[in-house]
Amino acid sequence: MNDHEVNVGILGLGTVGTGVAKILLTQSGLLKTRSDLNFKLKAIAEINWNVKRDLNLDGIQCLTDAKQLIADPEIDIVVETIGGYEPAFSFISEALCNRKHVVTANKALIATRGRELFKIAKENGVGLLFEASVGGGIPIIKGLREGLVANKIESIYGILNGTSNYILTRMHQDGLEFEEALKEAQVKGFAEADPTLDVGGGDAAHKLTILGSLATSSTLDFDSLYVEGITPITKLDINFAKSFGFTIKLLAIFRALENGLDLRVHPTLIPNTHLLAAVNNELNAIFVKGDFVGNTMFYGPGAGERPTGSAIVSDIVDLSKGLLLKEGEPSSYLSIDPERRMELAPINAIKNRFYLRFFTYDKPGVLSKISGILGERGISISSMVQLETHEKDNYVPIVLLTHKASEEAMEEALREIDQFDFVKDKGLRLRLF
Ligand SMILES: NC(=O)c1ccc[n+]([C@@H]2O[C@H](COP(=O)([O-])OP(=O)(O)OC[C@H]3O[C@@H](n4cnc5c(N)ncnc54)[C@H](OP(=O)(O)O)[C@@H]3O)[C@@H](O)[C@H]2O)c1
Protein backbone atom coordinates (compact mmCIF):
# COMPACT_ATOMS: atom_id res chain seq x y z
CA MET A 1 0.00 0.00 0.00
CA ASN A 2 1.13 3.48 -0.80
CA ASP A 3 0.33 6.50 1.36
CA HIS A 4 1.51 9.04 -1.16
CA GLU A 5 -0.92 11.93 -1.41
CA VAL A 6 -1.37 13.74 -4.72
CA ASN A 7 -2.56 17.32 -4.31
CA VAL A 8 -4.63 18.67 -7.17
CA GLY A 9 -5.60 22.30 -7.87
CA ILE A 10 -8.27 23.37 -10.35
CA LEU A 11 -8.23 26.67 -12.26
CA GLY A 12 -11.79 27.59 -13.34
CA LEU A 13 -14.86 25.95 -11.77
CA GLY A 14 -17.16 26.03 -14.81
CA THR A 15 -18.72 23.02 -16.58
CA VAL A 16 -15.54 20.95 -16.89
CA GLY A 17 -13.88 22.09 -13.62
CA THR A 18 -17.03 21.09 -11.73
CA GLY A 19 -16.95 17.63 -13.32
CA VAL A 20 -13.34 17.16 -12.22
CA ALA A 21 -14.12 18.36 -8.67
CA LYS A 22 -17.10 15.98 -8.41
CA ILE A 23 -15.00 12.97 -9.45
CA LEU A 24 -12.13 13.82 -7.09
CA LEU A 25 -14.60 14.30 -4.23
CA THR A 26 -16.74 11.21 -4.81
CA GLN A 27 -14.50 8.61 -6.48
CA SER A 28 -11.42 8.81 -4.24
CA GLY A 29 -11.87 5.18 -3.05
CA LEU A 30 -12.09 3.86 -6.61
CA LEU A 31 -9.07 5.92 -7.67
CA LYS A 32 -7.08 4.63 -4.68
CA THR A 33 -7.93 1.01 -5.54
CA ARG A 34 -6.94 1.45 -9.15
CA SER A 35 -3.80 3.55 -8.74
CA ASP A 36 -2.72 2.95 -5.12
CA LEU A 37 -2.56 6.72 -4.66
CA ASN A 38 -4.59 9.16 -2.55
CA PHE A 39 -5.93 12.06 -4.57
CA LYS A 40 -6.81 15.24 -2.74
CA LEU A 41 -8.54 18.25 -4.23
CA LYS A 42 -6.58 20.89 -2.34
CA ALA A 43 -7.56 24.19 -3.95
CA ILE A 44 -9.76 25.77 -6.61
CA ALA A 45 -9.23 29.20 -8.17
CA GLU A 46 -12.36 30.71 -9.70
CA ILE A 47 -13.16 34.34 -10.44
CA ASN A 48 -16.89 34.02 -9.91
CA TRP A 49 -17.95 32.35 -6.66
CA ASN A 50 -21.51 33.74 -6.89
CA VAL A 51 -22.71 30.90 -9.13
CA LYS A 52 -24.66 28.19 -7.28
CA ARG A 53 -22.91 24.82 -7.71
CA ASP A 54 -23.99 21.37 -6.60
CA LEU A 55 -20.73 20.73 -4.68
CA ASN A 56 -19.62 20.44 -1.06
CA LEU A 57 -16.35 22.35 -0.93
CA ASP A 58 -15.71 22.03 2.84
CA GLY A 59 -11.99 21.77 3.52
CA ILE A 60 -10.98 22.95 0.04
CA GLN A 61 -9.19 26.26 -0.42
CA CYS A 62 -11.49 28.47 -2.52
CA LEU A 63 -9.36 31.18 -4.14
CA THR A 64 -10.02 33.93 -6.64
CA ASP A 65 -6.39 34.41 -7.65
CA ALA A 66 -5.11 31.63 -9.93
CA LYS A 67 -1.50 32.71 -9.33
CA GLN A 68 -1.83 31.90 -5.63
CA LEU A 69 -2.77 28.31 -6.52
CA ILE A 70 0.03 28.02 -9.11
CA ALA A 71 2.59 29.23 -6.54
CA ASP A 72 1.45 26.80 -3.82
CA PRO A 73 4.42 24.40 -3.30
CA GLU A 74 2.09 21.65 -2.04
CA ILE A 75 0.10 21.41 -5.30
CA ASP A 76 1.44 18.62 -7.54
CA ILE A 77 -0.97 18.81 -10.46
CA VAL A 78 -2.74 21.87 -11.87
CA VAL A 79 -5.91 21.41 -13.91
CA GLU A 80 -6.59 24.28 -16.33
CA THR A 81 -10.32 24.48 -17.15
CA ILE A 82 -10.65 28.21 -17.76
CA GLY A 83 -10.47 27.99 -21.55
CA GLY A 84 -9.40 30.59 -24.13
CA TYR A 85 -5.90 31.81 -24.94
CA GLU A 86 -5.06 34.24 -22.15
CA PRO A 87 -4.65 34.09 -19.21
CA ALA A 88 -4.80 30.27 -19.73
CA PHE A 89 -1.47 30.20 -21.64
CA SER A 90 0.34 32.24 -18.96
CA PHE A 91 -1.15 30.16 -16.14
CA ILE A 92 -0.14 26.85 -17.75
CA SER A 93 3.38 28.00 -18.58
CA GLU A 94 3.86 29.42 -15.07
CA ALA A 95 2.67 26.15 -13.50
CA LEU A 96 5.02 24.13 -15.74
CA CYS A 97 7.91 26.45 -14.85
CA ASN A 98 7.05 25.85 -11.17
CA ARG A 99 7.59 22.15 -12.04
CA LYS A 100 3.96 21.18 -11.64
CA HIS A 101 2.28 18.75 -13.99
CA VAL A 102 -0.62 20.27 -15.91
CA VAL A 103 -3.82 18.80 -17.32
CA THR A 104 -5.94 20.85 -19.70
CA ALA A 105 -9.10 20.48 -21.79
CA ASN A 106 -8.17 23.55 -23.83
CA LYS A 107 -8.10 22.37 -27.46
CA ALA A 108 -7.82 25.88 -28.91
CA LEU A 109 -4.66 26.50 -26.88
CA ILE A 110 -3.05 23.09 -27.50
CA ALA A 111 -3.77 23.31 -31.25
CA THR A 112 -2.35 26.80 -31.68
CA ARG A 113 0.33 27.13 -28.98
CA GLY A 114 1.00 23.51 -28.03
CA ARG A 115 4.53 23.66 -29.47
CA GLU A 116 5.58 26.36 -26.97
CA LEU A 117 3.86 24.66 -24.04
CA PHE A 118 5.30 21.18 -24.76
CA LYS A 119 8.76 22.75 -24.93
CA ILE A 120 8.33 24.38 -21.52
CA ALA A 121 7.04 21.09 -20.09
CA LYS A 122 10.04 19.20 -21.52
CA GLU A 123 12.55 21.77 -20.22
CA ASN A 124 11.07 21.46 -16.74
CA GLY A 125 10.76 17.66 -16.75
CA VAL A 126 7.02 17.72 -16.14
CA GLY A 127 3.99 16.53 -18.09
CA LEU A 128 1.24 18.39 -19.94
CA LEU A 129 -1.68 16.10 -20.79
CA PHE A 130 -4.86 16.92 -22.71
CA GLU A 131 -7.14 13.86 -23.04
CA ALA A 132 -10.29 16.00 -22.66
CA SER A 133 -9.31 18.30 -25.52
CA VAL A 134 -10.58 15.86 -28.19
CA GLY A 135 -13.71 13.75 -28.03
CA GLY A 136 -14.68 14.70 -24.42
CA GLY A 137 -14.98 11.42 -22.52
CA ILE A 138 -13.71 9.20 -25.36
CA PRO A 139 -10.16 7.98 -24.59
CA ILE A 140 -8.91 8.75 -28.09
CA ILE A 141 -5.67 10.46 -27.02
CA LYS A 142 -4.70 7.51 -24.88
CA GLY A 143 -5.88 5.23 -27.66
CA LEU A 144 -3.41 6.83 -30.07
CA ARG A 145 -0.64 7.41 -27.51
CA GLU A 146 -0.70 3.96 -25.94
CA GLY A 147 -3.14 1.49 -27.46
CA LEU A 148 -2.00 2.09 -31.03
CA VAL A 149 1.65 2.91 -30.23
CA ALA A 150 2.85 0.00 -32.43
CA ASN A 151 1.14 1.40 -35.52
CA LYS A 152 1.86 3.96 -38.17
CA ILE A 153 -1.41 5.88 -38.32
CA GLU A 154 -2.58 5.84 -41.92
CA SER A 155 -5.85 7.72 -41.55
CA ILE A 156 -8.24 9.28 -39.05
CA TYR A 157 -11.83 10.26 -39.84
CA GLY A 158 -13.55 12.06 -36.98
CA ILE A 159 -16.93 13.47 -36.11
CA LEU A 160 -15.46 15.79 -33.54
CA ASN A 161 -17.97 18.59 -33.06
CA GLY A 162 -21.14 17.69 -31.18
CA THR A 163 -22.96 20.93 -32.05
CA SER A 164 -22.59 20.47 -35.81
CA ASN A 165 -23.47 16.80 -35.54
CA TYR A 166 -26.62 17.62 -33.56
CA ILE A 167 -27.68 20.20 -36.17
CA LEU A 168 -27.05 17.87 -39.12
CA THR A 169 -28.89 15.04 -37.36
CA ARG A 170 -31.99 17.23 -36.84
CA MET A 171 -31.81 18.31 -40.49
CA HIS A 172 -31.64 14.66 -41.61
CA GLN A 173 -34.18 13.18 -39.23
CA ASP A 174 -36.74 15.98 -38.85
CA GLY A 175 -36.33 17.91 -42.08
CA LEU A 176 -35.27 21.13 -40.33
CA GLU A 177 -33.44 23.94 -42.11
CA PHE A 178 -30.00 24.86 -40.72
CA GLU A 179 -31.22 27.95 -38.82
CA GLU A 180 -34.10 26.06 -37.16
CA ALA A 181 -31.79 23.21 -36.09
CA LEU A 182 -29.22 25.70 -34.74
CA LYS A 183 -31.89 27.45 -32.64
CA GLU A 184 -33.02 24.10 -31.24
CA ALA A 185 -29.39 23.20 -30.40
CA GLN A 186 -29.00 26.53 -28.57
CA VAL A 187 -32.19 25.98 -26.55
CA LYS A 188 -31.02 22.48 -25.55
CA GLY A 189 -27.57 23.77 -24.55
CA PHE A 190 -25.67 21.98 -27.32
CA ALA A 191 -24.68 25.24 -29.04
CA GLU A 192 -23.10 28.44 -27.73
CA ALA A 193 -24.78 31.84 -28.17
CA ASP A 194 -21.99 32.49 -30.71
CA PRO A 195 -21.75 29.17 -32.58
CA THR A 196 -19.16 30.32 -35.15
CA LEU A 197 -16.32 28.11 -33.96
CA ASP A 198 -18.57 25.02 -33.96
CA VAL A 199 -20.56 25.41 -37.19
CA GLY A 200 -17.66 27.08 -39.03
CA GLY A 201 -15.42 24.02 -38.49
CA GLY A 202 -12.80 25.81 -36.32
CA ASP A 203 -13.41 23.67 -33.23
CA ALA A 204 -13.13 20.42 -35.22
CA ALA A 205 -9.97 21.80 -36.83
CA HIS A 206 -8.42 22.46 -33.40
CA LYS A 207 -9.14 18.84 -32.47
CA LEU A 208 -7.86 17.51 -35.80
CA THR A 209 -4.59 19.42 -35.33
CA ILE A 210 -4.15 17.64 -32.00
CA LEU A 211 -4.99 14.19 -33.40
CA GLY A 212 -2.70 14.78 -36.40
CA SER A 213 0.11 15.83 -34.05
CA LEU A 214 -0.31 12.65 -32.01
CA ALA A 215 -0.50 10.49 -35.11
CA THR A 216 2.78 11.91 -36.38
CA SER A 217 4.46 12.67 -32.99
CA SER A 218 5.06 16.19 -34.28
CA THR A 219 3.50 19.62 -34.01
CA LEU A 220 1.35 20.79 -36.91
CA ASP A 221 0.42 24.30 -37.98
CA PHE A 222 -3.27 24.81 -37.26
CA ASP A 223 -3.35 27.75 -39.71
CA SER A 224 -2.41 25.46 -42.64
CA LEU A 225 -5.51 23.28 -42.35
CA TYR A 226 -8.26 23.47 -44.98
CA VAL A 227 -11.51 24.22 -43.11
CA GLU A 228 -15.13 24.53 -44.26
CA GLY A 229 -18.19 24.56 -41.98
CA ILE A 230 -21.78 23.40 -42.33
CA THR A 231 -23.56 26.77 -42.72
CA PRO A 232 -24.14 26.53 -46.53
CA ILE A 233 -25.95 23.19 -46.24
CA THR A 234 -29.69 23.33 -46.81
CA LYS A 235 -32.57 20.90 -46.35
CA LEU A 236 -32.46 20.42 -50.12
CA ASP A 237 -28.84 19.16 -49.96
CA ILE A 238 -29.74 16.78 -47.15
CA ASN A 239 -32.59 15.37 -49.25
CA PHE A 240 -30.39 14.98 -52.34
CA ALA A 241 -27.70 13.27 -50.24
CA LYS A 242 -30.34 10.90 -48.83
CA SER A 243 -31.64 10.07 -52.31
CA PHE A 244 -28.11 9.04 -53.33
CA GLY A 245 -27.71 6.89 -50.16
CA PHE A 246 -25.49 9.29 -48.17
CA THR A 247 -25.56 11.13 -44.84
CA ILE A 248 -23.87 14.52 -44.53
CA LYS A 249 -21.47 14.89 -41.58
CA LEU A 250 -18.86 17.47 -40.63
CA LEU A 251 -15.78 15.29 -40.99
CA ALA A 252 -12.25 15.93 -39.76
CA ILE A 253 -9.81 14.03 -41.98
CA PHE A 254 -6.18 13.02 -41.47
CA ARG A 255 -4.37 10.96 -44.10
CA ALA A 256 -0.66 10.21 -44.29
CA LEU A 257 0.10 10.51 -48.03
CA GLU A 258 3.37 10.02 -49.86
CA ASN A 259 3.67 13.74 -50.63
CA GLY A 260 2.76 14.96 -47.13
CA LEU A 261 -0.17 14.99 -44.75
CA ASP A 262 -3.74 15.58 -45.84
CA LEU A 263 -5.61 17.42 -43.06
CA ARG A 264 -9.04 18.86 -43.76
CA VAL A 265 -12.32 19.65 -42.07
CA HIS A 266 -15.43 19.93 -44.25
CA PRO A 267 -18.95 18.60 -44.65
CA THR A 268 -18.73 15.17 -46.26
CA LEU A 269 -21.25 12.80 -47.81
CA ILE A 270 -20.74 9.48 -46.03
CA PRO A 271 -22.32 6.28 -47.44
CA ASN A 272 -25.17 5.15 -45.18
CA THR A 273 -23.47 1.76 -44.87
CA HIS A 274 -20.43 3.26 -43.07
CA LEU A 275 -20.42 3.23 -39.24
CA LEU A 276 -19.74 6.98 -39.12
CA ALA A 277 -23.06 7.70 -40.88
CA ALA A 278 -24.88 6.29 -37.84
CA VAL A 279 -23.17 8.60 -35.31
CA ASN A 280 -26.00 10.95 -34.40
CA ASN A 281 -26.97 13.91 -32.25
CA GLU A 282 -24.22 15.38 -30.04
CA LEU A 283 -22.14 12.20 -30.03
CA ASN A 284 -18.61 11.99 -31.40
CA ALA A 285 -16.74 9.18 -33.15
CA ILE A 286 -13.23 8.71 -34.46
CA PHE A 287 -12.36 6.07 -37.05
CA VAL A 288 -8.62 5.29 -36.97
CA LYS A 289 -6.65 3.06 -39.33
CA GLY A 290 -3.26 1.80 -38.17
CA ASP A 291 -0.93 -0.20 -40.41
CA PHE A 292 -0.95 -3.26 -38.12
CA VAL A 293 -4.27 -3.04 -36.30
CA GLY A 294 -6.39 -2.11 -39.33
CA ASN A 295 -9.63 -0.18 -38.74
CA THR A 296 -10.76 0.82 -35.23
CA MET A 297 -13.55 3.10 -34.04
CA PHE A 298 -13.84 5.15 -30.85
CA TYR A 299 -17.35 6.40 -30.00
CA GLY A 300 -19.03 8.30 -27.18
CA PRO A 301 -19.93 11.63 -25.59
CA GLY A 302 -17.75 14.44 -26.92
CA ALA A 303 -18.54 17.03 -24.25
CA GLY A 304 -20.30 17.74 -20.96
CA GLU A 305 -19.43 18.01 -17.29
CA ARG A 306 -19.18 14.30 -16.48
CA PRO A 307 -17.53 12.86 -19.64
CA THR A 308 -14.97 15.67 -19.83
CA GLY A 309 -14.27 15.41 -16.09
CA SER A 310 -13.71 11.66 -16.58
CA ALA A 311 -11.07 12.34 -19.26
CA ILE A 312 -9.26 14.91 -17.13
CA VAL A 313 -9.07 12.62 -14.12
CA SER A 314 -7.55 9.87 -16.28
CA ASP A 315 -4.73 12.33 -17.08
CA ILE A 316 -4.36 13.23 -13.39
CA VAL A 317 -3.90 9.55 -12.50
CA ASP A 318 -1.46 9.09 -15.39
CA LEU A 319 0.69 12.03 -14.33
CA SER A 320 0.63 11.13 -10.67
CA LYS A 321 2.57 7.93 -11.42
CA GLY A 322 5.51 10.18 -12.33
CA LEU A 323 5.39 11.68 -8.84
CA LEU A 324 6.45 8.32 -7.44
CA LEU A 325 9.71 8.35 -9.43
CA LYS A 326 12.87 9.08 -7.48
CA GLU A 327 14.74 12.32 -8.22
CA GLY A 328 16.69 11.90 -11.48
CA GLU A 329 14.74 8.83 -12.66
CA PRO A 330 13.73 9.29 -16.28
CA SER A 331 10.06 9.95 -17.00
CA SER A 332 8.37 10.20 -20.33
CA TYR A 333 5.17 12.17 -20.65
CA LEU A 334 5.71 13.39 -24.17
CA SER A 335 4.03 11.80 -27.14
CA ILE A 336 4.46 14.91 -29.25
CA ASP A 337 7.97 16.12 -30.05
CA PRO A 338 7.82 19.93 -30.13
CA GLU A 339 10.95 20.08 -32.33
CA ARG A 340 9.53 17.77 -35.03
CA ARG A 341 7.54 19.43 -37.81
CA MET A 342 5.56 17.82 -40.61
CA GLU A 343 4.50 19.31 -43.93
CA LEU A 344 0.94 19.29 -45.20
CA ALA A 345 0.28 18.21 -48.79
CA PRO A 346 -1.08 21.13 -50.86
CA ILE A 347 -4.89 20.95 -50.95
CA ASN A 348 -4.90 21.45 -54.75
CA ALA A 349 -3.13 18.14 -55.27
CA ILE A 350 -5.71 16.16 -53.26
CA LYS A 351 -8.26 14.16 -55.25
CA ASN A 352 -11.84 13.74 -54.16
CA ARG A 353 -15.25 12.79 -55.43
CA PHE A 354 -17.59 15.79 -55.35
CA TYR A 355 -21.26 16.68 -54.83
CA LEU A 356 -22.16 19.83 -56.80
CA ARG A 357 -25.42 21.76 -56.47
CA PHE A 358 -26.38 24.71 -58.64
CA PHE A 359 -29.55 26.75 -59.07
CA THR A 360 -29.84 27.39 -62.78
CA TYR A 361 -32.37 29.13 -65.02
CA ASP A 362 -34.67 26.48 -66.49
CA LYS A 363 -33.76 26.59 -70.18
CA PRO A 364 -32.31 24.12 -72.70
CA GLY A 365 -28.53 23.63 -72.96
CA VAL A 366 -27.71 24.44 -69.33
CA LEU A 367 -26.63 20.94 -68.44
CA SER A 368 -24.44 20.45 -71.46
CA LYS A 369 -22.65 23.75 -70.72
CA ILE A 370 -21.92 22.69 -67.12
CA SER A 371 -20.83 19.18 -68.07
CA GLY A 372 -18.72 20.68 -70.89
CA ILE A 373 -16.73 22.83 -68.44
CA LEU A 374 -16.25 19.85 -66.12
CA GLY A 375 -15.23 17.63 -69.05
CA GLU A 376 -12.61 20.15 -70.24
CA ARG A 377 -10.87 19.63 -66.89
CA GLY A 378 -11.14 15.86 -66.94
CA ILE A 379 -13.94 15.76 -64.36
CA SER A 380 -16.49 13.09 -65.20
CA ILE A 381 -20.03 12.90 -63.82
CA SER A 382 -21.23 9.73 -62.09
CA SER A 383 -24.86 10.73 -61.28
CA MET A 384 -27.12 13.67 -61.89
CA VAL A 385 -30.54 14.94 -60.76
CA GLN A 386 -32.46 17.96 -62.03
CA LEU A 387 -35.71 18.96 -60.34
CA GLU A 388 -38.60 20.61 -62.14
CA THR A 389 -39.35 24.13 -61.06
CA HIS A 390 -42.51 25.26 -59.36
CA GLU A 391 -40.98 28.52 -58.32
CA LYS A 392 -41.90 31.90 -59.75
CA ASP A 393 -38.31 32.82 -60.62
CA ASN A 394 -37.91 29.74 -62.84
CA TYR A 395 -34.63 28.56 -61.25
CA VAL A 396 -34.18 24.83 -60.70
CA PRO A 397 -31.69 22.91 -58.61
CA ILE A 398 -29.26 20.65 -60.47
CA VAL A 399 -27.14 18.18 -58.50
CA LEU A 400 -24.17 16.25 -59.85
CA LEU A 401 -21.93 13.62 -58.30
CA THR A 402 -18.50 13.32 -59.89
CA HIS A 403 -15.82 10.67 -60.12
CA LYS A 404 -12.46 11.50 -58.49
CA ALA A 405 -10.96 14.81 -59.56
CA SER A 406 -8.30 17.12 -58.20
CA GLU A 407 -9.31 19.99 -55.95
CA GLU A 408 -7.49 22.33 -58.34
CA ALA A 409 -9.45 21.18 -61.40
CA MET A 410 -12.73 21.49 -59.47
CA GLU A 411 -11.87 24.96 -58.19
CA GLU A 412 -11.15 26.17 -61.73
CA ALA A 413 -14.29 24.57 -63.16
CA LEU A 414 -16.50 26.09 -60.47
CA ARG A 415 -15.02 29.54 -61.05
CA GLU A 416 -16.08 29.29 -64.70
CA ILE A 417 -19.51 27.76 -64.06
CA ASP A 418 -20.35 30.46 -61.51
CA GLN A 419 -19.75 33.07 -64.28
CA PHE A 420 -22.61 31.76 -66.45
CA ASP A 421 -25.57 34.14 -66.45
CA PHE A 422 -27.97 31.22 -66.01
CA VAL A 423 -26.38 30.25 -62.67
CA LYS A 424 -27.97 31.89 -59.63
CA ASP A 425 -25.63 32.65 -56.71
CA LYS A 426 -22.63 30.35 -56.32
CA GLY A 427 -22.68 26.58 -56.71
CA LEU A 428 -22.20 24.43 -53.61
CA ARG A 429 -19.36 21.90 -53.60
CA LEU A 430 -19.19 19.12 -51.02
CA ARG A 431 -16.89 16.10 -50.92
CA LEU A 432 -17.74 12.40 -50.81
CA PHE A 433 -16.14 10.02 -48.32
N1 LIG B 1 -17.83 22.19 -21.81
C2 LIG B 1 -17.42 21.07 -22.36
O3 LIG B 1 -18.17 20.10 -22.49
C4 LIG B 1 -15.99 20.94 -22.83
C5 LIG B 1 -15.58 19.75 -23.47
C6 LIG B 1 -14.25 19.59 -23.85
C7 LIG B 1 -13.36 20.62 -23.64
N8 LIG B 1 -13.78 21.79 -23.06
C9 LIG B 1 -12.79 22.84 -22.83
O10 LIG B 1 -12.67 22.99 -21.41
C11 LIG B 1 -12.35 24.35 -21.10
C12 LIG B 1 -13.38 24.87 -20.10
O13 LIG B 1 -14.66 24.81 -20.68
P14 LIG B 1 -15.99 25.00 -19.80
O15 LIG B 1 -17.12 24.64 -20.70
O16 LIG B 1 -15.86 24.34 -18.50
O17 LIG B 1 -15.97 26.59 -19.61
P18 LIG B 1 -16.78 27.44 -18.54
O19 LIG B 1 -17.99 26.70 -18.12
O20 LIG B 1 -16.94 28.81 -19.11
O21 LIG B 1 -15.78 27.48 -17.30
C22 LIG B 1 -14.67 28.33 -17.18
C23 LIG B 1 -14.64 28.86 -15.75
O24 LIG B 1 -13.42 29.55 -15.53
C25 LIG B 1 -13.71 30.78 -14.86
N26 LIG B 1 -12.64 31.74 -15.10
C27 LIG B 1 -12.48 32.61 -16.13
N28 LIG B 1 -11.32 33.31 -15.98
C29 LIG B 1 -10.74 32.85 -14.84
C30 LIG B 1 -9.56 33.20 -14.15
N31 LIG B 1 -8.71 34.14 -14.59
N32 LIG B 1 -9.26 32.55 -12.98
C33 LIG B 1 -10.12 31.58 -12.51
N34 LIG B 1 -11.27 31.23 -13.12
C35 LIG B 1 -11.58 31.86 -14.27
C36 LIG B 1 -15.03 31.19 -15.48
O37 LIG B 1 -15.68 32.18 -14.71
P38 LIG B 1 -16.73 33.17 -15.48
O39 LIG B 1 -17.83 32.30 -15.96
O40 LIG B 1 -17.15 34.15 -14.47
O41 LIG B 1 -15.95 33.79 -16.63
C42 LIG B 1 -15.77 29.86 -15.49
O43 LIG B 1 -16.38 29.59 -14.24
C44 LIG B 1 -12.32 25.08 -22.45
O45 LIG B 1 -11.00 25.12 -22.91
C46 LIG B 1 -13.16 24.19 -23.35
O47 LIG B 1 -12.81 24.31 -24.72
C48 LIG B 1 -15.06 21.95 -22.66
Same domain, residue pair 309 and 390: no
Q: Is the pLDDT of residue 394 over 90?
A: no
Q: Is 207 a catalytic residue?
A: yes
Task: Give counts: helices (H), strands (E), the chain.
Answer: 14, 18
pLDDT at site 331: 63
Same domain, residue pair 295 and 156: yes
Mean pLDDT within 345-357: 93
Mean pLDDT within 132-152: 96
**Please, which pLDDT band fits residue 300 given cuts at 50, 70 and 90?**
very high
pLDDT at site 278: 98
Distance of alpha carbon 315 from alpha carbon 19, whole angstroms: 14
Mean pLDDT of the chain: 94
Residue from 207, 249, 404, 424 carrying the catalytic annotation? 207
Same domain, residue pair 234 and 270: yes
Q: Which domain holds residue 294?
A: 140-301
pLDDT at site 79: 98
Same domain, residue pair 219 and 167: yes
CATH code, domain carrying 104: 3.40.50.720
pLDDT at site 355: 98
CATH code, domain carrying 404: 3.30.70.260
Is 338 inside any structural domain?
A: no
Q: Whose CA is nearest to atom 27 of ligand 1?
A: 82
Same domain, residue pair 296 and 313: no
How many CB atoms sit inside 10 A of residue 180's CB? 15
pLDDT at site 193: 87
Is 330 inside any structural domain?
A: no
Residues 6+ apart with CB under 8 A from 125: 99, 331
Q: Is the pLDDT of residue 330 over 70?
A: no
Domain count, the chain: 3
Distance of alpha carbon 349 from alpha carbon 412, whole angstroms: 13
pLDDT at site 172: 98
Distance of alpha carbon 210 from alpha carbon 134, whole angstroms: 8
- Taking alpha carbons only, the member of 114, 97, 143, 100 closest to residue 287 is 143
Same domain, residue pair 355 and 231: no
Q: State which H helix or E strand residue 395 sits in.
A: strand 395-402
Pick from 53, 81, 86 the residue to mutate for probing ligand 1's pocket: most ligand atoms within 8 Å of its CB. 81
Q: Which residue has the higher pLDDT, 344 or 65?
A: 65
Residue 79 forms beta bridges with which residues? 10, 103
pLDDT at site 343: 85
Q: Is the pLDDT of residue 59 over 60?
A: yes
Is 343 inside any structural domain?
A: no
pLDDT at site 392: 63
Q: State which H helix or E strand residue 253 sits in.
A: strand 246-257
